Chain A
Amino acid sequence: AQTVTQSQPEMSVQEAETVTLSCTYDTSESNYYLFWYKQPPSRQMILVIRQEAYKQQNATENRFSVNFQKAAKSFSLKISDSQLGDTAMYFCAFMTPFNDYKLSFGAGTTVTVRA
């Protein structure tokens, strides 16, 4: 079974600064995908960024980037130039074709951006 661990329950960052969220996962599969989803106070689950395990290049989406360390099974999310609208719960998630493409989620990290 795949497990996803987010060890930081809460993080706080000043507006315009950078924050990094940690995520580790455990799998014996070689073909898999990793995601970060954002859940703002509206409760909507929004895809932030995704990474295919076979790609060595780290994914980037505007102010969001990941540091994918396959050997260490680590997948951290960096939010640069934090904005008040980034305040949300962030979930790391794992998916593999061998598990019917189901998403397994971590427990989440609450990020608060301070003005």
Chain B
Amino acid sequence: DSGVTQTPKHLITATGQRVTLRCSPRSGDLSVYWYQQSLDQGLQFLIQYYNGEERAKGNILERFSAQQFPDLHSELNLSSLELGDSALYFCASSALTSGPSGANVLTFGAGSRLTVL
């Protein structure tokens, strides 16, 4: 158990629908990252939050949105789903510190597998 909890583990839905993926970061971590892993695109960074604020944005579609709540859990909302949105969605968390002691190490959750039919 990595300490990062993602729910649901699996989700099957239809095109045009909306889903919400949830992530609870590791205790003490303030930063949450969302990644999408698909067969044709590999691992793509979507968005990052730090202590409730959006910190960085990657290749996130306008149909997707995310937020981080005061208790630091995060949700990724995917709407108007298309077949191509089928993928494994990872959440990762980190303390977002760096320095001589080491890098900003990301710890990943087990992922949420989304299948759009």
Contact = CB atoms under 8 A, between A and B. Distances in A.
Given A35-B103, A43-B111, A95-B103, A101 B96 contact: yes
B48 A100 contact: yes
A50 B103 contact: yes
A50 B105 contact: yes
Contacts of A85: none
Interface in B7-58: 31, 33, 35, 42-43, 45, 48, 55-56, 58
Contacts of B115: none
B103 A52 contact: yes
A102 B110 contact: no
A104 B103 contact: no
A103 interface: yes
Contacts of A99: 56
A16 interface: no
Interface string A81-99: 0000000000100010101
B70 interface: no
Interface of B: 2, 31, 33, 35, 42-43, 45, 48, 55-56, 58, 88, 90, 92, 94, 96, 98, 102-108, 110-111, 113
Given A45-B108, A47-B107, A100-B48, A91 B102 contact: no
Nearest to B55: A100
B5 to A, nearest CB: 13
5 contacts: A33-B98, A37-B108, A45-B108, A102-B33, A102-B56
A19 interface: no
A107 B42 contact: yes
Interface residues of A, number: 24
A104 B96 contact: no
Given A43-B110, A102-B48, 20 more contacts: A33-B98, A37-B108, A43-B111, A44-B110, A47-B105, A47-B107, A50-B105, A91-B43, A95-B103, A97-B98, A97-B104, A100-B48, A100-B55, A100-B56, A101-B31, A101-B98, A101-B104, A102-B58, A103-B33, A107-B42
Contacts of B56: 99-100, 102
A45 B102 contact: no
